[in-house]
Amino acid sequence: MDRRLRILIVDDEKIVRESFHFWFQKSGHFSETAASGIEALEKMERVPFDLLFVDIRMPGMDGLQLLERLKMEYPDTMVVIITAYGTIETAVKAMRIGAADYLLKPFNPDQLNLVVEKILQQEKMAVECRYLRGRLDKAVRFDNIIGASQPMASIFALIPEVAASDASVLIVGETGTGKELIAKAIHAKSPRRSFPYVTINCGAIPDTLLESELFGHQKGAFTGADHARKGYLEVVHGGTLFLDEIGEISQKMQVDLLRVLEEKKVTRIGSCQPLDVDFRLISATRRDLEKRITENRFRRDFFYRINVIVMQIPPLRERKEDIPLLVDCFLTKYSQETNKWVDRISSDTMHLLQQYDWPGNVRELENAVERAVVLSRSRTLKQDDFSFLRTAPSMRVDKPSLKENEKAYIRKILEECEGNITRAAKVLEINRVTLHKKMKRFQLTDRGI
């Protein structure tokens, strides 16, 4: 047998459960049993069964109720209804709810075999369907960048065009939006792809060290320069240099880099010999560089040099339709990495994730899914698995907090009482000392401002 099914038998009669179990053992399928609908749902939470045989008459949750729950929570799972007291009405009802088949106990051995064969065929088709869906997923991916939204589609369309040119690119986007992935994609599609791709996070390296890192130095150029060292501007020759957080570099470094970009020459620290360099510059920033120019924190000439092509990456909150795609991708990734059977997310949880603003963008979403997968005790991620998100202020859905309401109310009363603390305290039914404490805490004056 090519494919072994995971089968769950749900029946309150032990001899029936055993009878099924022994039969499926002989057929080589993996089978487990559950004596009630509740036990079945508990087991479904742990193991993704392919096929369930569910008896209709059971104490507590009956078979049809269980079928409804299963079809709601696990729509892909095949369910065969079995009963010793079959009626046409129940058979029709079961099939309408979504049962794959309906068998009357006891059944002919060939009948059960046919049902299992039919399920195997359907399972085979489902596997093919999943494969094709996977192919489709690739269509909404671009070099590991995931997104089906309009803004992302525009970026995907722009990447090959940008890659073909040699112009400097400035990628602008909030932290965690995937600026580096875009830079890598541009390099990978550019004629420079067989040459080095070097990334430097300008925000993480002190200015003096950054100079040495970029330009290199001669032996003895400064204390500790025991040997000559090539800078990244030399190392990257022929390839692409990605300067992340370019908004953080000093004015002096901007001048030095501007000269390199214009002259295509680099001189190591402590050397007088300029060296020819040829690289493509891609920069990224989460800052508003034009604002920085007006604040005299960023040089206009350098800005014009690096932003020949600007790519604006939208934050995740502006492309929430991509969240299910991303969650699905991260769920698969971390289920495999952690070897845990966590392959589903409830619809209300997905709704919650789409409500959240994700200030840390895709990176925050990825970390949230990873954390939820690691800590989850069932195969379905639920709202509780993302309880850590609820404390975030952006989850308020535009409703003021109790603290804000209290502050606004005190301000209103103070205004109405024209700053008279005694009258305001009386209206608020608190004493003056408490009102003073609250005003101090909320930074309110007696005019309520």
Note the residues at the interface with other proteins (CB under 8 A).
1-2, 13, 15-16, 18-20, 22-23, 25-28, 82, 105-113
Residue 139 and residue 147: Cα distance in Å, rounded? 10
CB nearer other proteins, residue 15 or residue 397 = 15
Residues 6+ positions from 363 with CB-CB distance below 8 Å: 175, 176
Q: How far is the CB of 28 from other proteins (least distance, A)?
A: 4
Residues 6+ positions from 119 with CB-CB distance below 8 Å: 5, 50, 51, 78, 80, 100
Asked if residue 360 lies in contact with residue 367, where contact means CB atoms within 8 angstroms, the answer is yes
The residue among 144, 150, 249 whose CA lies nearest residue 201 is 249
Q: How far is the CB of 80 from other proteins (least distance, A)?
A: 12
CB nearer other proteins, residue 15 or residue 272 = 15
Token pair listed for 131: 């494969």
Torsion of CA 60, 63, 64, 70, to 10 degrees: 100
Cα radius of gyration (the chain): 32
CB nearer other proteins, residue 27 or residue 65 = 27
Instruction: Tell me phi and psi for residue 285, to 5 degrees.
Output: -155, 155
CB nearer other proteins, residue 117 or residue 348 = 117
Q: How far is the CB of 150 from other proteins (least distance, A)?
A: 49
Q: How far is the CB of 108 from other proteins (least distance, A)?
A: 5
Residue burial 365-384, b: 16+ Cβ < 10 Å; e: rest: bbebbbebbeebebbbbbbe
CB nearer other proteins, residue 113 or residue 445 = 113
Q: How far is the CB of 91 from other proteins (least distance, A)?
A: 18
Residue 142 and residue 236: Cα distance in Å, rounded? 25
